[in-house]
Amino acid sequence: MKFDTPAGTNPIDQEKVVAQPHARIEGPLKVTGQATYAAEYREPRNAAHGYVLGSGIARGKIKHIDVSRAEAAPGVLLVLTHHKTPWTNLESPVPQQYEHSPHLVNEEVNYYGEAVAFVVAETFEQARHAAHLIEIEYDTIDADFVLADVMNEGKAPPGNPDSVVGDFDGAFRDAPVKVDVTYTTPDQSQSPMEPHASIAEWQGEQLTLYTSNQMVHWVRRGLSKTFHMAQQDIRIVSRYVGGGFGSKLNFYADAVLSALAAKELGRPVKTVLQRPLIYNHTTHRPATIQRVRLAADREGHLLAVGHDTFTGDLPGGDGENASDQTKLLYAGPNRLIRTRLSELHLPPGGSMRAPGEAVGLLALECAMDELAEQLHLDPLELRIRNDIQHDPEKGPKRPYSSRKLVKALREGAERFGWSTRHPTPGQVREGEWLIGLGVASAFRKNLVQPSGAKVRLEKGGKLTVETQMTDIGTGSYTILGQVAAEMLGLRLEDVTVKLGDSDFPKASGSGGSFGANSSTTGLYYACEELRKIISEAFGYDPNTTEFKNGEVWSGNHCTLLAKASSKGAIEAEGNVTWGELTEKFVQASFGAHFAEVGVNAYTGETRIRRLLSVASAGRILNPVTARSQCLGGMTMGVGAALMEELHVDDRYGLFINHDLAEYHVPVHADIPALDVLFLDELDDKSSPLKAKGVGELGICGVGAAVANAMYNASGVRIRDYPLTLDKVL
């Protein structure tokens, strides 16, 4: 189905099950250890253990590799190097989402932590031991690891041309009030708790890969290209994912080399990436240098909006497009928004929760705060004054499908007690703590993806949902169950949801905040189809039939739903491909973040005291799981503001703090009780669910609210993230 017109009567609008606060249906499996994460599947019997040896240099060539001691070590079954692998070409050293993505290609090394050998042994310990007996001599070549050194060589990334509207330079020059500020954000790691892991098993020419991945159909297609196999000969299973945050959009050496070795050995191979390789072999969020120039008239109407992002990546990578939200967020007739991508030889860049906005707003929303100060204007008011209900580049012809930024700011201000903020920094003190409040807008574009699902009414009247959609901890199992229950007039407990298996209909997967809205829409159409089949079987008019309480009603005729499958299960499939509404309207989720922090006057330490996020993201399909997404996003936003930073060892080009002890993310002691407020919103141009993305909205802007609160508390403006105590003092 193409979604291009708002549905007439829509069973979802009843909100009997959808939009209700159901606890996650797979929760008991998770807390009792029965949910199978990638390394835990028992089906592949007798799996041998793989161990990926990462490169010890960033760029160069393997001159000599000696695996003889490794091959002779106890328990070793196989050692793979580039001498022994079947492929010949490498299109890009960056793991590509659904492209040819081999490992151990040739003697070239492109980044520290790239796979240079793969050892398979009877046990993990034996494989690890043997891997360290491999002797390698490298020839190194000069490499660049520091963005500031190469930023001026950057080029516009393909597919992201400069955005030029009006006369930015003239308007900026002549404006009475302006800021020209440069913010920097470091390399960051998604740092999922569950490591990337795969178990590969072959049956003849058919591969089954149990793995931890957000995008079942991307891995399947990528492996089919890598191994030159038909997609139908590859089955991907990814039922539970212990955190992805973008790093599991792609697949890595654990998947590819396990499959290769399992074929060679005729035996399943299981590989779990060791923690340091999660930081140096998989993707990370690339660093940025962002120059933001904003100019306004004396009333605070923006006249010129400029945002230049400098970023870097390996050849073939995208870097971090941190300027993009600035194209859409605020009004202003003269605009210049650009990204410059340079070549860097760090481990591969990739998506991390809200790629673009998450760090773009760290600059833009602080620059707005700085401009408000120049204007002697409340920063909340500055944002409200520059609200716009259409695409600021394309004009009123391209309106927002819905946009409640102002409402989010106003309602948040009321709830948070914004009026108590002292406009002059450094004025509120409790003992040794300086207290401040900050605000930022939240913005994340609403992406959609094609998505399909199958529904089956089982004998007995229970319903089964099957789709390739994944649940990365977000609540997909639950919201899909809710949508199916609502559509068929059942209770949530009457629905079984099966996810993360390429045997099921192809689905959106989880990424870019598109998962919930896209996958439930595919399911919606599958349920519509099933409703039609059942209505017709009962001799009812499908357009007026109602499904409620396990019964099917047409006027005053009523039949038990279970009767439809009394002779055997009946099933239906549906999918969504989206239509012109996604072109005609700009779609985004909006919100506002409020932060209260204390900055210690002696140590410079910052403590979060309160956070409030207001989210306007269409229908909230489940307020429990959606709130949980916001809490996670807010926590990650605090991490981005105060702690998170991959430290580059610029001698060798690796991230030196490559574990969860040294890569600091917030812990419970860092996070007080957080508050989330959802605005009532139904976006009937977004989907039949009238929902929009919410999974990443929570991180978008929260770090800037924290930074602005720190400035309000202390009078110290830091433009180099993370805002650690040494920079405050």
DSSP letters, 258-324, are: HHHHHHHHTS-EEEE--HHHHHHTS-BBPPEEEEEEEEE-TT--EEEEEEEEEEEESTT-----TTG
Out of 11, 93, 113, 246, the only residue in the binding site for ligand MOS (CB under 6 A) is 246
Amino acid at 118: F
615 binds ligand MOS (CB under 6 A): no
Cβ at position 541, least distance to ligand MOS in Å: 42
Window of 239-247, 257-265, 325-333, 362-370 that interacts with ligand MOS by CB under 6 A: 239-247
**Identity of the residue, 320 or 546, whose beta carbon is nearer to ligand MOS in the bound complex:** 320
Q: Of 7-15, 238-246, 360-368, 604-612, which segment contacts ligand MOS by CB under 6 A?
A: 238-246
Of 350 and 591, which CB lies nearer to ligand MOS in the complex structure?
Answer: 350
Q: Which is nearer to ligand MOS, 154 or 356 (CB)?
A: 356
Count of other CB atoms within 10 angstroms of residue 64: 11
The neighbour count for residue 382, using CB atoms within 10 Å, is: 24
Choose between 188 and 502: whose C-beta lies nearer to ligand MOS: 188
CB distance 608 to 634 below 8 Å: no
Stretch of 243-251, 313-321, 418-426, 639-647 contacting ligand MOS, by CB under 6 A: 243-251
Minimum separation from the CB atom of position 665 to ligand MOS (A): 16
Residue indicated by tokens 């240099």: 57
Helix (H) or strand (E) holding 203: strand 197-203
Nearest to ligand MOS of 359, 434 (CB atom): 359
Smallest gap from residue 321 Cβ to ligand MOS (A): 12
End-to-end CA distance of the chain: 58
* By the rule CB under 6 A, 113 interacts with ligand MOS: no
| Stretch of 346-354, 384-392, 556-564, 639-647 contacting ligand MOS, by CB under 6 A | 346-354
Residue nearest to ligand MOS (CB): 246
- Please name which of 661, 659, 664 lies closest in space to residue 280, comparing C-alpha atoms: 659
Comparison of 51 and 245: residue with beta carbon closer to ligand MOS: 245
Tell me the window of 53-61, 240-248, 314-322, 323-331 that interacts with ligand MOS (CB under 6 A).
240-248
Residue 152 CB, shortest distance to ligand MOS, in Å, is 28
Q: Does 214 bind ligand MOS (CB under 6 A)?
A: yes
Please state the φ and ψ torsions of residue 454, each to the nearest 5 degrees. -120, 140
| Minimum separation from the CB atom of position 514 to ligand MOS (A) | 8
> Got the DSSP string for 614-660?
EEE-BS-S-HHHHHHHHHHHHHHHHHHHHT--PPEETTTTEES--ST
Interface with ligand MOS, residue 438, by CB under 6 A = no
- As to burial, measured by CB atoms within 10 angstroms (0-12 exposed, 13-18 middle, 19+ buried), residue 604 is middle
In whole angstroms, the minimum distance from the beta carbon of 320 to ligand MOS comes to 11
3-state class (DSSP) for residue 417: coil
Cβ atoms of 53 and 109 closer than 8 Å:
no
CA–CA gap between residue 349 and residue 181 (Å, rounded): 25
Contact segment (CB under 6 A) with ligand MOS among 244-252, 496-504, 577-585, 645-653 equals 244-252
Binding track, positions 248-287, relative to ligand MOS; x by CB under 6 A? -x--------------------------------------
Which CB, 409 or 448, lies closer to ligand MOS? 448
Cβ closest to ligand MOS, residue 355 vs residue 500 = 355
Q: Number of residues in contact with ligand MOS, rule: CB under 6 A?
A: 11
CB of residue 245 to ligand MOS, shortest distance in Å: 6
Burial class (CB in 10 A: 0-12, 13-18, 19+), 2: exposed
Instruction: Return the number of other C-beta atoms located less than 10 Å from residue 679's C-beta.
Output: 18
Label residue 563 exposed, middle or buried (CB < 10 Å: 0-12, 13-18, 19+).
middle
Residue with tokens 């989010």: 408
- Catalytic center residues: 696
Closest alpha carbon to 424 in 371, 384, 385, 373: 373
Q: Which of 348, 356, 436, 512 binds ligand MOS (CB under 6 A)?
A: 512
Identify which range of 33-41, 245-253, 270-278, 391-399 contacts ligand MOS by CB under 6 A: 245-253
CB of 589 to ligand MOS, least distance (A): 14
Positive or negative CA dihedral for 575, 579, 583, 585? negative
Return the number of the residue (154 or 695) whose C-beta is nearest ligand MOS. Answer: 695
Residue 427's contacts (CB-CB under 8 Å, 6 or more residues apart) are none
Name the segment binding ligand MOS (CB under 6 A); options: 347-355, 633-641, 686-694, 715-723: 347-355
Joined tokens for residue 570: 């009946």
- Cα-trace Rg, the chain: 26
Residue located via tokens 């028992």: 42
> What phi, psi does 148 have (nearest 5°)?
-60, -30
The piece of 126-134, 168-176, 242-250, 412-420 that touches ligand MOS (CB under 6 A) is 242-250
- Select the residue interacting with ligand MOS from 356, 511, 574, 698 (CB under 6 A): 511
DSSP string for residues in 683-704: -TTT-TT-B---TTGGGTTHHH
Q: Is 244 in the site for ligand MOS (CB under 6 A)?
A: yes
Q: Are 449 and 215 in contact (CB under 8 A)?
A: no
200 with 268: CB under 8 angstroms? yes
Residue type for position 89? N
**Residue 712 Cβ, how far from ligand MOS at the closest point, in Å?**
30
The residue among 132, 156, 145, 151 whose CA lies nearest residue 52 is 132
Residue 244, amino acid: G
In the bound complex, what is the minimum distance in angstroms from residue 691's beta carbon to ligand MOS? 17
* Residue 60 vs 355, nearer CB to ligand MOS: 355
Q: How far is the CB of 702 from ligand MOS (least distance, A)?
A: 16
User: Residue 300 CB, nearest distance to ligand MOS (Å)?
Assistant: 33
Paired with 576 in beta bridges are 451
Site string for ligand MOS, 349-378 (x = CB under 6 A): --xxx-x-----------------------
**705 Cα distance to chain centroid:** 21
Least separation in angstroms between residue 192's CB and ligand MOS is: 10
Strand 48-54, strand 269-272: pairing: parallel
Q: Which is nearer to ligand MOS, 214 or 714 (CB)?
A: 214
- Taking the least distance from each CB to ligand MOS, the nearer of 269 and 352 is 352
Does 54 engage in binding with ligand MOS (CB under 6 A)?
Answer: no
Comparison of 334 and 589: residue with beta carbon closer to ligand MOS: 589
Q: Interface residues with ligand MOS (CB under 6 A)?
A: 214, 244-246, 249, 351-353, 355, 511-512
